[in-house]
Structure 1
Amino acid sequence: MKRFKIIIVAAIMTLTACSNWLDVVPDGIATLDMAFNSRTQARKYLATAYSYMPKNGGAGDPTTLGGDDIWTRRTTHFSNRFSLAGLDIGEGLQNATSPILARWGGMYEALRVCNTFLENVDLVPDLPAWEREQWTAEAKVLKAYYHFCLVQMYGPIPLIRENMPVDADVYAVKVEREPVDECFNYIVQLLDEAAEGDMLPTIILDPASDYGRITKPIALSLKAKVLVTAASPLFNGNNDQATLKNHDGTLLFDAAFKAEKWEAAVAACKEAIDICHEAGIRLYTFDDAANRYNDTTVLNVTLRNAFNLRSSSEIIWANTQMISIPTSGGMIHASMPKLNPDYVNSNDICQWLGMPIKIAEMFYTENGVPLDEDKTRSIGDLYNLRTAQAADKLYIRQGRTTIDMHFDREPRFYAWVGFDGGVWFGAGQYNDKDASSLRYLAFKVGETDGSQGQGNWTGYIPKKFIPYEAQLNAINSISSPSYAWPVMRLSDLYLLYAEAINEVEGPNGSNSAELFRYIDLVRARAGLKGVKESWDRYTNNQKYNTQAGLRGIIQQERMIELSFEGQRFWDIRRWKTAPTEYHTPLQGWNMMVSTVDGTEEEVNRLMYQPQLLLKQEFGVRDYFWPIRTSDIEVNPNLVQNIGW
């Protein structure tokens, strides 16, 4: 297997990484003999193994449009450059004949490349021992990650521990799915092997050339996420999957709940946090050393940069396969508003991606509690009109009328959600001492960011994707910093740790202080008080005192903090809350209202009428992708997922 000649198809793949380690993709390797005959060629092959990383946040990522947090219309002419296939998932069009945005073939090809590297790296004659160990560990982490991507999507899968010899019996290659617990165990085994000793560096010494390469914090943080996923209801005591079994009767899900899974997750999260801290990974805060901005603006920039700044101190793993750049088809381009009246006639910058009303309602009030729990707010007033005053001027354009729901919300809402009248710090205007000079969104037809019959169908846009410096520099041209998509941030890890502790012992156990500490660190960075203080002062209940109540708090905190990053899609599945979340119809505001449709008050009232966008459905079968029918025909040993 190590010496026979084969054509390396993956080695001639084209990549799109910018100024990163992945730029060293081979330009054509004919045989394994050549691929591993020198350090240079082997390095190229390792880069090829990286090249299969799913393009998080791209049009081919099912979390982009396949969930319930980002939406667009099929009629948009932006569809010729940004795949709308994810909408088929949300609309219930998934099928087994041609599964939508499936990863089966791509991930198994990736695993074959990883195995080939691991089986041949010892042949490289000029590779130092320390570097061989590091590259081996990197390949094992990639192998673990690709298996994990498959498990998230399909549940129990065939494990590819090693490549099959070319002369293997035809029956030997007809593999079976393995029990899901075995899948998780194997993934963790690979990560433990990779993280052992000093094979992986704690930090990247040359970020300019090695940005995106795997480190020890990445390996251990991925292990933490894997074990939290394995302990979650979808994979731990899931009776809904009890009938899924191989043809020989092997059960693929254990219906029994195992508390030790959560205990393992707690230990893994703590180990990952410790190594991240050792590596200098910290929650990001904007350093306004020149004292240019007031505290509101500093917090706004902090929250924007935490996700979309390439050098953000809290990014554990950045996927350089998905560089967000301001070109046609990217997330920046797909979400960017015009902002500047000089470009009102641009028909290519129209905020094609939006979010439904329910996601805007998900964010906390300024008091750090949910809208429907804050005793200082009246739910009946949320859609009433209200005009921004001087006290609101850095969040909502002074004098602009919008709805009560947009006022007095938490800083993450204003940093990550764009809405009509919302101030947009940056885009060429940075004088927050003169709030009237700052950009703001004007969504009515006839205004700067009005739909003009295209785009902006919901009344909200994912501001989080767009660096605050981004701006239009020509009628259809955007100038913006680029960034790699964060696969995992430190705030994600902190909240996983809090979740795991709560599941093991509830809110009043021996690790209670640790539990609340890590939730409150995330909240403090967002400008909010701690959980206990917020619920004590601003609600009529102390839900944080029960395991179920605190579970709800942690889940909402994750959905807010990690909004639009693709985490919600997988989280609501592993929690088995997807049917509840999808039950709420997707609604948006009436974005076809024009400034000439009546008086200002009449126009505003017309605009803030909820419009049905889509009624989604979610059943047991939707937790996992179907295996393509033709794949089962080729390999009858594979059993189909329930419901397909």
Structure 2
Amino acid sequence: MKRIIILLGIVSLLFTVSCKKYFDQVPQDRLSLAEIFNTRDGVQKHLAGVYTYIPDEFNQRQLQEQAIFRTPGPWTAAGDETEYPSGNKAQLINNNTLTATEDTFVKNRWKSWYIGIREATVFMDNVYKCPTSQLSVENQNQWRAEARALRAIYYFYLVRAYGPVPLIKGNFTQDTPSAELQLPRNTVDECFNFIVSELKAAQQEGLLVHVSQDRSGGAGRIDQSIAQAFIIEALTFRASWLFNGSNAYYSNMANPDGTKLFPQNASQATAKWLDVINESKQFLNTYVPTYYKLERVLTNGVLDPYKSYRTATRGSYSEMTGYTEMIFYRIDNSAATMQYDRTPNHKGAGGDYRGGGFLGATQEQVDAYFMDNGLPPVLGYQADGKSPIINGASGYVESGTIATDYKGSGTDQLYAPAGSSNMYYKREPRFYADVTFNNQKWLYNKDGNIYTSMEYSGNAGKLNGVNDYSKTGYVVRKCAPEGPWGTGDRVCILLRLPQVYFNYVEALCQYDPTNPDIWKYVNEIRERAGIPQYGSGSGRIPAPTGKENIMKAIMAEKRVEMSFENTRYFDLRRWGMANEYLNKPIYGMNVEADGNAFYNRTKVANRTFAPRQYFFPIPQKEIDVDKNLVQNNGY
């Protein structure tokens, strides 16, 4: 018997359209598709709808309030980088209380990306029906290729969050028999192979080499370089511990017919890392430096690492044509929420200076930033989990205060005001761009300087029952505006050039740890960051040797450069290191105290990690309807 099956993410929304400002006004029937694809304007608006499922990672606090097509995730606060005060969905992950019946972000991510996949497929099936008098063949090819690439990218996001998923290869309609809609999950390798092959097909079938070639305004469009970057991302995940057959927890997970979903051994891991290397070289040789290079800002004719890094991560839309580092981003986003979360409360100041300061950086993340001599300040922790093992060679000390204002070398940039704790003295420039610490000068000073105090009685402290405060005594500063907190004109950066560099050097480390390209690209990042590079000779740090030590150096560098950019949550999982870093308490300053007592390292929250937390559960309603869809282990 034929009927409409209600599969939330895959089937019931076969004809749900995605650009709500346009398509909610159009009758939801088959005739509407013919009408939509009869004009250039209709085709263009439908494609814009396909783009709406690109993640909006600027709002990680109000996940339950987001429209389904925005698909934000709780990634920074669900790792070891940050903590929200209370009521954030990340706590379901941190407490290991996430369930398959959670009805907001678990369901909505699955649902949203599958709607995006379906809408991309609808577009691909119909774009050539538009008369060439309305839409040229060249545009038809280009726009279809964009939809094809987006579909592959949405599959990547699904696999990254849920593990292997069903690949929708049939042309389902509302009249498709229900028996044909009982879809099993594809294997890990099938999923990644499909993602890569679809991105390569899109590259060959119409994508612009780079959006700068679109003279009518290509900002935000998928191009060949973006597709290549996602090919590298997908292959990096495929080669990693979580997916390559090394993780015994998923070795026996199988479909009802017995098909094992994960590789049964890691014997092909080396060859998979070689694929990452080859595709990374393709990107570097084709697009760097012609289209991409690290941002570099000069002050008084000398590299200014602070301004360079701020430029690379602040994402001003009005300056888009001048950026050289952004690869993938979302234009329509929740910048105001992000900026409110990252602007301290500043009680008593004007509204332009007062945010929520919710997003608190953890002490562990603060400790990860290097000193200005390029050495780590903290090598680990004592048995109590909080007392630091201080690297004596780094010059780091925790007692006392800075006697005079500490400024960036060769610039007038104030890094740490006099009176600040020595914990924040002579740290690397990225630290001052990324973290607001106690007594730091705020970015916006049109009406006079404001110094943020997160002590209990401070202007951004917890006193008087104010909920707008940081639990850790630090606030994330990265991406915060230099003007009023409500400044618009921001794009949500989802992928920067350093991510390609890190994927490349990680693959080299796994395949050939003696390859000099490892230090070439790590050093390029460190040079821009204003800290000594690895190598021999004056002013350099001896490079570590051996695969394990080299990988530790890469991880440490990535933790800083990509901080708060939604990579570490997934890195810890794919590296198999989540239990080491996420199954223990996190720490910060003592926000219940003033004065010297504030600087006592204090437990902020317990974190729990169990093997089931490698992936989200598949929404239970999907499991209930699709009898061939097996649930992830542990749910």
Output the TM-score relative to the length of structure 1.
0.84
Aligned to 2:433: 415
Q: Do residues 137 (structure 1) and 145 (structure 2) align? A: yes
1:335 maps to a residue whose letter is: R
Q: Do residues 607 (structure 1) and 605 (structure 2) align? A: no
Q: Do residues 67 (structure 1) and 79 (structure 2) align? A: yes
**What's the CA shift for 1:370?**
1.9
Residue aligned with 2:631, SS: coil
Aligned counterparts of 1:630 and 1:579: Cα–Cα separation in 2: 29
Aligned to 1:457: 471
Aligned residues: 581
Aligned counterparts of 1:519 and 1:205: Cα–Cα separation in 2: 30
Moved more, 249-258 or 333-342: 333-342
**What's the CA shift for 1:65?**
2.8
Which ranges in structure 1 are unaligned for 5 or more consecutive residues? 1-5, 15-23, 430-436, 472-477, 595-602
Q: Do residues 93 (structure 1) and 94 (structure 2) align? A: no
Aligned to 2:404: 389
Aligned counterparts of 1:208 and 1:66: Cα–Cα separation in 2: 40
1:28 maps to a residue whose letter is: V
Aligned-residue sequence identity (percent) comes to 27
Aligned counterparts of 2:146 and 2:24: Cα–Cα separation in 1: 18
**What's the CA shift for 1:382?**
4.0
Match runs of 1:5-404 below 5 Å? 8-14=15-21, 27-28=25-26, 30=28, 31-59=32-60, 60=63, 61-74=73-86, 84-98=88-102, 101-102=105-106, 103-125=109-131, 126-196=134-204, 199-205=207-213, 209-238=217-246, 239-257=248-266, 258=268, 259-277=270-288, 279-288=290-299, 291=300, 298-310=304-316, 311=320, 312-325=323-336, 330-337=337-344, 342-343=349-350, 349-372=355-378, 377=392, 382-391=397-406, 394-402=413-421, 404=422
Q: Do residues 494 (structure 1) and 512 (structure 2) align? A: no
Residue aligned with 1:196, SS: helix
1:63 maps to a residue whose letter is: W
**What's the CA shift for 1:464?**
0.4
**What's the CA shift for 1:554?**
0.7
Aligned to 1:406: 424
Q: Is the 8 A contact 1:122 1:132 kept in 2?
A: yes
Q: Do residues 528 (structure 1) and 535 (structure 2) align? A: no
Residue aligned with 1:317, SS: strand
Change in Cα spacing, 1:11 to 1:617, as seen in structure 2 (3 Å) is: closer
Aligned counterparts of 2:592 and 2:294: Cα–Cα separation in 1: 40
Change in Cα spacing, 1:25 to 1:348, as seen in structure 2 (3 Å) is: farther
CA RMSD of aligned residues (A): 2.8
2:297 maps to a residue whose letter is: F
Aligned counterparts of 1:566 and 1:209: Cα–Cα separation in 2: 28
Q: Is the 8 A contact 1:244 1:253 kept in 2?
A: yes
Q: Is the 8 A contact 1:154 1:627 kept in 2?
A: yes
Aligned counterparts of 1:376 and 1:53: Cα–Cα separation in 2: 42
Residue aligned with 2:563, SS: coil
**What's the CA shift for 1:337?**
2.5
**What's the CA shift for 1:441?**
2.5
Moved more, 360-369 or 142-151: 360-369
Q: Is the 8 A contact 1:411 1:526 kept in 2?
A: yes
Deviations 1:527-556 (A, max 9, x none): 022223599966xxx662111111111111
1:219 maps to a residue whose letter is: A
Q: Is the 8 A contact 2:141 2:205 kept in 1?
A: no
Aligned counterparts of 2:580 and 2:390: Cα–Cα separation in 1: 24
Deviations 1:325-344 (A, max 9, x none): 3xxxx10011112569643x
Change in Cα spacing, 1:615 to 1:391, as seen in structure 2 (3 Å) is: closer
Aligned counterparts of 2:526 and 2:610: Cα–Cα separation in 1: 33
Change in Cα spacing, 1:399 to 1:277, as seen in structure 2 (3 Å) is: closer
Aligned counterparts of 1:123 and 1:13: Cα–Cα separation in 2: 23
1:62 maps to a residue whose letter is: P
Change in Cα spacing, 1:268 to 1:380, as seen in structure 2 (3 Å) is: closer
**What's the CA shift for 1:399?**
3.2
Moved more, 305-314 or 386-395: 386-395
Aligned counterparts of 2:58 and 2:364: Cα–Cα separation in 1: 21
Aligned counterparts of 2:289 and 2:202: Cα–Cα separation in 1: 18
Q: Is the 8 A contact 2:207 2:223 kept in 1?
A: no
Aligned to 1:470: 483
Aligned counterparts of 1:340 and 1:281: Cα–Cα separation in 2: 42
**What's the CA shift for 1:630?**
2.4
Aligned counterparts of 1:174 and 1:359: Cα–Cα separation in 2: 45
1:354 maps to a residue whose letter is: G
Aligned counterparts of 1:305 and 1:534: Cα–Cα separation in 2: 30
Q: Do residues 514 (structure 1) and 538 (structure 2) align? A: no
Aligned counterparts of 1:376 and 1:364: Cα–Cα separation in 2: 11
Q: Is the 8 A contact 1:116 1:163 kept in 2?
A: no
Q: Is the 8 A contact 1:307 1:486 kept in 2?
A: yes
1:487 maps to a residue whose letter is: L
1:86 maps to a residue whose letter is: A
Residue aligned with 2:559, SS: helix
Aligned counterparts of 1:301 and 1:439: Cα–Cα separation in 2: 20
Aligned to 1:3: none
Aligned to 1:576: 576
Q: Is the 8 A contact 1:281 1:490 kept in 2?
A: yes
Q: Is the 8 A contact 2:59 2:334 kept in 1?
A: no
Aligned counterparts of 1:451 and 1:207: Cα–Cα separation in 2: 51
Deviations 1:21-52 (A, max 9, x none): xxx87853641111211111011111111111
Aligned to 1:566: 566
**What's the CA shift for 1:397?**
4.5
Q: Is the 8 A contact 1:282 1:313 kept in 2?
A: yes
Aligned counterparts of 2:166 and 2:537: Cα–Cα separation in 1: 47
Residue aligned with 1:62, SS: coil
Aligned counterparts of 2:306 and 2:543: Cα–Cα separation in 1: 29
**What's the CA shift for 1:281?**
1.5
Aligned counterparts of 2:110 and 2:416: Cα–Cα separation in 1: 48
Deviations 1:439-487 (A, max 9, x none): 53232344443343431221111110202x223xxxxxx3525311111
Deviations 1:192-238 (A, max 9, x none): 00111653242334689542111111111111111111111111122
Deviations 1:328-369 (A, max 9, x none): xx10011112569643x9996241111111110011121212
Output the TM-score relative to the length of structure 2.
0.85
Aligned counterparts of 2:214 and 2:434: Cα–Cα separation in 1: 31
Residue aligned with 1:587, SS: strand
2:610 maps to a residue whose letter is: G
**What's the CA shift for 1:593?**
2.6
